Structure 1
Amino acid sequence: MDEQSKVLIVEGKQDRLKIKRILEDDDVQILCTFGTLGIDALENFVDEYNLFDRDVFIFTDTDEPGVNLRKMLNQELSHARNIYIDKKYREVEDAPDYVLASLLQAANMKVKVEYLKGFL
């Protein structure tokens, strides 16, 4: 198992790729659920990555599947912190890089400074 202290849970592979490109912090493990998980799959996911003992962040889309996944994850992982994108972007992968960078930075994750240019 990977021993990175922070875990960022996203829905899809494109979300993970985009965020991985923005993060400078190698201490963040980005996990994909590949959509909404059933109860058994969710329990296996939590156990497999030892999520009860780690610093967990949930970053899902604002559409119905994303909201449902967030609710399920929050029920299972009450210690997790949530990161939200503005509803106008709907999906994490569609949000501008500088928006994602600022949200990740606000969650105390190191981001590459060039991705904050929209705010500088």
Structure 2
Amino acid sequence: MTDDPGKIIIVEGLTDKKQIKKVITEKLDIVCTNGTLGVEKFDELLEIYDLDDREVYILVDEDSSGIKLRRQLTRELPHAEHMHVSGEYREVAATPEHDIAVELAGKGIKVNPIFLQ
């Protein structure tokens, strides 16, 4: 279990995580699912990251695997807040930093202001 009960963002892959890390200034956890989650893997994440008691944000690709993962996470974490990338880019990793920063800032996550210009 983590010591920080703060915010956590759930993404699909490492490239998504890297894209988000470029723009945030706030200390928070970013967890990669590497696609859909099995019951055991989800239960492990639930326990390790104390997902029931944290501010959880979901930012996944706007493709079939991302939509499937979003549905699964919605069922398992009904308190989670959802963020979306434009269908124009479809993938978090392909979304410009400005657009990522705007989406994150809209949820109260601190971002480097240079990306909001």
CA displacement 1:18-37 (0-9 Å, x = unmatched): 101100112x2111111111
Matched, 1:66 2:66: yes
Gaps of 5+ in 1: none
Q: What are the equivalent positions in structure 2 for 1:3-18 lying under 5 Å apart? A: 3-18=4-19
Distance in 1, Cα, partners of 2:72 & 2:39: 8
**AA in 2 matched with 1:48:** I
8 Å CA contact retained: 1:11, 1:60: yes
Q: Deviations over 1:98-120 (max 9, x none)?
A: 00000000010010011112xxx
Number of aligned residue pairs? 116
Report the RMSD for the aligned CA atoms in angstroms: 1.0
Q: If the length of structure 1 is used for normalisation, what is the TM-score?
A: 0.92
Larger CA deviation: 71-80 vs 32-41 = 32-41
Give distance in 1, aligned partners of 2:72 and 2:13: 16
Match of 1:113 in 2: 113
- For 1:59 and 1:65, the matched residues in 2 are separated by 12
Which consecutive aligned stretches of 4+ in structure 1 deviate over 2 angstroms post-superposition?
Answer: none
| TM-score in terms of structure 2 length | 0.94
The one-letter code matched in structure 1 to 2:111 is: V
Matches within 5 A, 1:7-86: 7-26=8-27, 28-86=28-86
Does the aligned pair in 1 maintain the 2:85–2:92 contact within 8 Å? yes
Q: State the identity as a percent.
A: 36
- The amino acid across from 1:9 in the alignment is I
Unaligned runs of 5+ in 2: none
Please name the residue that 2:91 is paired with: 91
The letter of the residue matching 1:99 is D
Which secondary structure does the structure 2 equivalent of 1:86 belong to? coil
